[in-house]
A and B are shown apart, each in its own frame.
Chain A
Amino acid sequence: MEREALQAAVCELDSTVSPLDANADRAAVIVEASALPAIVRRLRDQPQFAFAQLLDHVAVDWIDRGQFELIYQLYSFKHKHFLSVSVFVPREDPRVPTLCRVHPVAEWQEREVYDLFGVLYDDHPDLRRLFLEDDWVGFPLRKDYQDDFMLDRPR
């Protein structure tokens, strides 16, 4: 499907889905955190979407707005189209349901985001730090992270 058609079709799935208006180079939607696993499961199973692979999971720290944006990049081998699904969670209490049951690879992609941003994934089977040591303090990719070894201080 073409970008606009795909975005419109995904938005019709549910009332919790809305288009993402920010300048993005592909079809992009915003989903409410609580509805995320159900929506992604439908995107995977419905033949007109067939988003079989979770290609990537990224978090962005929007510190000025007090939010984390969690971005899930989906790809369909059948239709060769992409979709980017965004979820906004508050910075003080970043919690979102896990996608492990829908896309197993989410288990490790989410562990990476937990490790570097401190986003908590509800019902995750094995939430541990991935790169850093288990007793590391703080979440380095947050914009306000500081430690004694940093050469380049956040401005």
Chain B
Amino acid sequence: MTVEVSSLKELVEQASGDDRSPDTQEYFVNMGPQHPSTHGVLRLVLKLDGERVLRCIPVLGYIHRSIEKISEHMNYMNCVHLTDRMDYLSSIMNNWAVSKAVEEAAGIEVNSRIQTIRTIFAELERIQSHQLWWGVLGMDLGAFTPFLYGIRDREVLNDVMEETVGARLTMNYVLPGGLMADIHPNFVHRVKEFIKYFRPKLDEYDDLLTNNVIIQERLRNVGILSPQTAVQYGATGPVLRGSGVAFDLRKDHPYGVYDQADFEVPVGTIGDSWDRYWVRVEEMRQSMNIVEQLLDNIPPGDFLVKKLNSKIKIPEGRYYSQLETARGILGVFIVSDKKDEPYRMHYRSPNFNNLWCLEPMIKGDYIASLIGAMSSLDLVIPDIDR
């Protein structure tokens, strides 16, 4: 048994020296870290033969902020605020994941009003996250109009959420033991208005992009991910469901009040980029269904079970808690040594695991297909780097 630690330089030089093909020259090209379609600072080192991708080596760490190390010097209330900065499009769900882990570990029971409001906000956030993804996917494939449409409707939803939360991106609304504030008196009314506004708009999305022949040609049969590969490569969320595995934590291990809502889990058939696209568009419809069912039945009660001070102490042990964000399973792993600071805090982020599906999806295909396939993964890079 041997252990050899290599470097990126060795990897690239060794591979290009190995070129013995008589007619074509294999070469390396950097894609990123500032390429617009990498949605942040992801660098891909591509080994190419002409326009075909032979290898795709993701290089990470351009926005690594060592959130896990910082958390070791913070109490549990502080840790929640850092999680907004991971997957910034699912910030409330990230807050919820940490709060859920701390509540389960410390034995704090929250009332059903808090759980209902958390569920509604999580679904609204899933919608706004998918709206942005939908717009960006259009832009990645060369259509600018979808981006404007997506952002326009996301603004409407962001305004509704801002009224209660007070922020638009790093929302920071959920904390261990409850919520930062109660919902705004206008909230229920305005969410209903939004759903009334957005349902016809979603049909418009279908006219503009879903039924567009160019988009279909660019996505269908591109980046096929078999269910076996998806499971082995650690994919979760819409990527896994696009490959035909009907696994959704909201259904299979319900948390919040998802067990009270009636909704369907959209599942793809062959696992190409198109299936992942369709699953997300359909998820927006299902999320609206969930919100509509819960909105009229928000139970009365407090928005904070008790005023928790910063000194939450968790019994010694290992705790793992997870929930379904817009991109897949976000797991929070806490090792406690009875102090008010975690001994070790680890985030199992959905994008980190989904990213590695890119190479098996795209091997042997064209660079142009890589853009569409990557867009269908819906990566948020700060979540990978943490």
Which residues of chain A have a CB within 8 Å of any CB of chain B? 22-26, 28, 52-56, 58, 60-61, 71, 73, 77, 80, 82, 84, 95, 97, 103-105, 107-109, 112, 114, 116, 120-124, 126-135, 140-141, 152
Contact = CB atoms under 8 A, between A and B. Distances in A.
B344 A105 contact: no
B377 to A, nearest CB: 14
Interface of B: 1-9, 11, 60-61, 64, 66, 68-70, 73, 104-105, 231-234, 245, 247, 252-253, 315-320, 329, 331, 333, 335, 343-344, 346, 348, 352-353, 356, 385
B318 A23 contact: yes
Nearest to B333: A58
Contact of A105 (B73, B331, B353): B353
Given A56-B333, A84-B320, A134 B231 contact: no
A97 B232 CA distance: 18
Contacts of B335: 60
Contact of A128 (B8, B66, B104, B320): B8
Contacts of A116: 68
Contact of A22 (B73, B105, B318, B329): B318
5 contacts: A25-B320, A53-B231, A56-B348, A80-B253, A82-B320
Given A54-B234, A121-B3, A105 B356 contact: yes
A84 to B, nearest CB: 7
Q: Which of B4, B9, B385 has the most CB of A within 10 A?
A: B4
Contacts of B61: 130-133
Nearest to B105: A25
A128 B7 contact: yes
In the A-B complex, the 9 residue pairs with the smallest Cβ-Cβ separation, listed nearest first, are A23-B317, A105-B234, A131-B61, A134-B7, A122-B1, A56-B348, A120-B3, A131-B64, A152-B73
Nearest to B63: A131
B1 A61 contact: no
Given A23-B316, A60-B343, A140 B234 contact: no
A41 to B, nearest CB: 13
Contact of B8 (A28, A71, A103, A134): A134
A77 B1 contact: no
Nearest to A127: B5
B319 A122 contact: no
A77 B317 contact: no
Contacts of B315: 23
A84 B319 CA distance: 11
A58 B11 contact: no
A52 B247 CA distance: 13
Contact of B3 (A54, A127, A129): A127
B65 to A, nearest CB: 10
A52 B104 contact: no
A22 B337 CA distance: 11
A26 B104 CA distance: 12
A28 B318 contact: yes
Contacts of B320: 25-26, 56, 73, 82, 84
